[in-house]
Amino acid sequence: TRQSLSIPTRDGAALPAELALPTGDRPSGGWPVLLYFHGGGFTVGSVATHRPLCHRLAHLAHCAVLSVDYRLAPEHTFPTAAHDAWDSLMHLMQMGQAWGLDTSRVAVGGDSAGGTLSLGVAHTARDTGVPLRLQLLFYPGCAAQHSSPSHHTYGHGFVLEKETVDWFFEQYLNDPSERNNGLFSPLSFDDWTGVAPAWLGLAECDPLVDDALHMADVLRMAGVPVELEVYLGVVHEFIKMGRAIPEALQAHQDAARALRAAFA
């Protein structure tokens, strides 16, 4: 089942959101919940484009999934999406029990730009003492500059083209200096000690893969528990191709297993 919700933000906007619930009896303390941010370069994508994925994760992980339509560029530039993501977590923590959710068992997650937002939320949650069980990260964007080898190897002909990435960021950023803000490029943050454990599901043939591998190493060096899967032969966006490729179905199962373990 799914229900439509509205999430207020710090500047008075209302974000559409959708709560996907698994079948079966609700646990006495409420459903554990994954707060999900869709991908799309901060410029495209929506709750609707990621609805099948969110319902699949709710079913497999036996948890609620709250998917948020944060505001997009070019109408809404940095740091609006990052602020919307954090405000969504704050509203979830405030209203979750009324929605039948267990706010002591919350994970954040997303794909691509949504993974970037999740990392930013997890970092801020660490700083403000908000407990999270897991960061669920499908091929997140992590770096300020596109200089790692995978950007050259997979920058053309593998779904996510270099020119597209550049265009997305031109829409989202107001000024080149913002590239070095950790809310845009998580690798720009100095200290990851004490953030929530992370599960990363990466695509081998993805320009972003090397930066995400570096992110996993940075988290591990900070003492953060990290689980990492690299799905071979697949491209950026593969997570939404469950009807077409077995690797996507495997990634759904692996992500759900990580969620169930984090919520146990």
Catalytic positions:
112, 206, 236
Q: Which residues are CB-neighbours of 51 under 8 A, at least 6 positions away?
A: 2, 18, 20, 67
- The CA distance from 46 to 39, in Å, is 8
- CA torsion sign for 152, 169, 133, 33 is negative
Report how far residue 81's alpha carbon sits from residue 64's, in angstroms, rounded to the nearest whole number.
Answer: 22
State the Cα–Cα distance between residues 155 and 165, nearest whole angstrom: 9
What is the C-alpha separation between 79 and 73, in angstroms, rounded? 10
Q: Calculate ∠ Cα 148-81-257, nearest 5°.
A: 70
